[in-house]
């Protein structure tokens, strides 16, 4: 198997989200199968007209729809949902779509960059299109641009300043909203002189990431990652660039070695048992940044000793630290680095080891329970309860514990466990498009009709919420 094949396998495996701790509520999202122009079951749709640069109707353009969805709060992704080809009048129609927010692009060949609605070749400037259960069909027309695809080339130097062939280079698109298009094709191996060339790059912002081959091979062997998945000498580096249709040459990426982050895990302020330590795995992710392949390849995992101590390698940058394998009665309370609470904001990893980390678990988590009713006091089943912080700065946190949602049971009741102490809004809605619950703009509207609550460590709250119809 070639290194590129190994790389593809590693990415596919790592793009499957790891099982998150109990307090992280995950909205499942499954990529749709590309069926080309085949008809899909009835649903919402997007239609419109494709025009050439002169404003004339264009036949034969391929139009694609990408739905913005969530792996978890703050972790957005784009799923391909459908495509169509414009007819002799330039018209197209994509049906069978789910309600949600979409990016729409069109192109005439593989040699030019796609044009995104409302008329830009730069994916960062693309506008979202809302498709709801109420509006039926969204109208989206695009006037195509003829922007050539570019080439990105350069070299990789390791931490000793030596050109090395030990790396694979990825281009991972940067988007202001965190959504990522596929970058599986935007990769290449580095040659013996440390040089690389990637063709077919559309306009936009990119993180150009160099990842060691030894780490990719380890990931391919261990599946979605395992304890000690960063091997000794497995360096990485990243350089951000902007592509505007012209080639980007002589790019230099300098890599660095991971550093060690060490500390202990406690339960209710005391040492954890050997049985609990055995089932735990530590997991790190980027606090923010480019996402996509670069984010995936910087995920790291670590084990815990019988005494509750850990040491794990982490690459530089802003990082979050989480625990997997927790029993149902135990949740993450807080993560302290040198005595500072960094649980949700994350911490910065530089070039020096970090030795004083405390991961505090609790067997007395917060509980928010209650019931949802209609205006006449009758219970409402399958309503969506959303709990979100009063502080809007926390609405876009990655791996968020402070932004949670759950559906009510048949009798209208709900139960959320492990929300951190703090001030929150709580609201119930009758229906919710996939991913919409975590959109800051949506939360800003929802807070006007929400109920305010405050939580302390270990506190139980019982609420009665009246459902807000959409």
| Domains and their CATH numbers in the chain | 29-143 (2.60.40.10), 148-254 (2.60.40.10), 259-362 (2.60.40.1120), 367-466 (2.60.40.10)
Residues 6 or more apart whose CB falls under 8 angstroms from that of 179 comprise 68, 76, 77, 78, 103
Edge-to-edge, what's the strand order for the sheet holding 150-157? 195-201, 150-157, 248-254
Residues 6 or more apart whose CB falls under 8 angstroms from that of 47 comprise 91, 92, 93, 94, 137, 138, 139, 140
Q: Are the C-beta atoms of 318 and 271 separated by less than 8 Å?
A: no
Give the max Cα distance, the chain: 74
Tokens linked to 321: 């630290």
pLDDT at residue 342, rounded to an integer: 94
pLDDT at residue 222, rounded to an integer: 60
pLDDT at residue 87, rounded to an integer: 98
pLDDT at residue 351, rounded to an integer: 85
Residues 6 or more apart whose CB falls under 8 angstroms from that of 382 comprise 407, 408
Per-10-residue mean pLDDT, the chain, length 470: 55 45 30 35 84 96 88 70 96 92 91 91 85 82 94 95 91 64 70 94 87 78 55 77 92 91 96 96 75 59 93 86 92 96 91 94 95 94 95 82 92 94 95 74 91 95 88
Residue from 435, 410, 353 nearest 68 by CA:
435
Tokens linked to 95: 């049906």
pTM: 0.75
Q: Are the C-beta atoms of 209 and 229 separated by less than 8 Å?
A: no
Q: What is the residue-wise DSSP string for 240-266?
A: EEEESSS-EEEEEEE-B--EEEEEEEE
- C-alpha distances out from residue 39 to 34, 42, 108, Å: 11, 9, 22
Residue 129 per-residue DSSP state: E
pLDDT at residue 156, rounded to an integer: 96
369: helix, strand or coil: strand
Enumerate helices (H) and strands (E) in the chain, giving the number of each: 5, 33
Tokens linked to 461: 């709250």
Q: How far apart are CA 53 and CA 21, in angstroms?
A: 51
Strand partners, 92: 48
């Amino acid at each position: 198997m070639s290194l590129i094949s190994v790389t593809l396998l590693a990415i596919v495996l790592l793009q499957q989200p790891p099982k998150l701790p109990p307090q992280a509520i995950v909205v499942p999202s499954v990529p749709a199968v590309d069926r080309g122009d085949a008809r899909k079951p009835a649903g919402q749709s997007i239609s419109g007209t494709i025009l050439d640069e002169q404003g004339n109707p264009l036949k034969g353009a391929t139009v694609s729809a990408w739905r913005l969805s969530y792996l978890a709060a703050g972790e957005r992704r784009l799923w391909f949902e459908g495509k169509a080809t414009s007819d002799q009048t330039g018209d197209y129609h994509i049906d069978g779509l789910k309600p949600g927010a979409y990016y729409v692009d069109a192109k005439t060949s593989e040699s030019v960059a796609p044009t995104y609605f409302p008329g830009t070749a730069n994916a960062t400037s693309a506008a979202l299109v809302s498709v709801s259960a109420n509006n039926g069909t969204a109208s989206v027309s695009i006037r195509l641009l003829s922007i050539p695809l570019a080439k990105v080339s350069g070299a990789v130097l390791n931490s000793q300043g030596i050109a090395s062939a030990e790396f694979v280079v990825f281009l991972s698109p940067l988007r202001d909203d965190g959504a990522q298009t596929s970058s599986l094709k935007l990769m290449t191996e580095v040659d013996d002189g440390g040089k690389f060339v990637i063709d077919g790059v559309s306009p936009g912002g990119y993180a150009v990431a160099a990842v060691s081959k030894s780490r990719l091979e380890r990931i391919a062997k261990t599946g979605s990652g395992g304890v000690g998945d960063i091997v000794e000498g497995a360096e990485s580096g990243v350089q951000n660039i902007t592509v505007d249709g012209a080639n980007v040459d002589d790019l230099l990426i300098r890599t660095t070695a991971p550093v060690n982050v060490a500390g202990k895990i406690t339960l209710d302020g005391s040492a954890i048992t050997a049985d609990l330590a055995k089932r735990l795995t530590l997991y790190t992710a980027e606090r923010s940044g480019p996402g996509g392949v670069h984010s995936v390849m910087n995920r790291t995992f670590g084990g815990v000793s019988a005494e509750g101590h850990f040491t794990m390698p982490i690459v530089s940058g802003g990082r979050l630290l989480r625990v997997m394998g927790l029993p149902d009665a135990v949740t993450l309370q807080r993560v302290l680095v040198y005595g500072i609470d960094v649980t949700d904001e994350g911490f910065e990893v530089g070039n020096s080891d970090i030795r004083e980390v405390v991961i505090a678990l609790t067997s007395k988590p917060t509980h928010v329970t209650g019931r949802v009713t209609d205006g006449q006091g009758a219970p409402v089943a399958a309503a969506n309860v959303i709990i979100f912080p009063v502080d809007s700065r926390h609405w876009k946190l990655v791996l968020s514990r402070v932004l949670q949602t759950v559906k009510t049971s048949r009798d209208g009741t709900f139960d959320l466990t492990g929300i951190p102490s703090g001030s929150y809004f709580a609201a119930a809605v009758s229906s919710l498009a996939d991913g919409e619950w975590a959109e800051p703009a949506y939360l800003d509207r929802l807070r006007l009709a929400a109920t305010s609550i405050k939580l302390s460590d270990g506190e139980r709250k019982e609420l009665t919420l009246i459902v807000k119809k959409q």
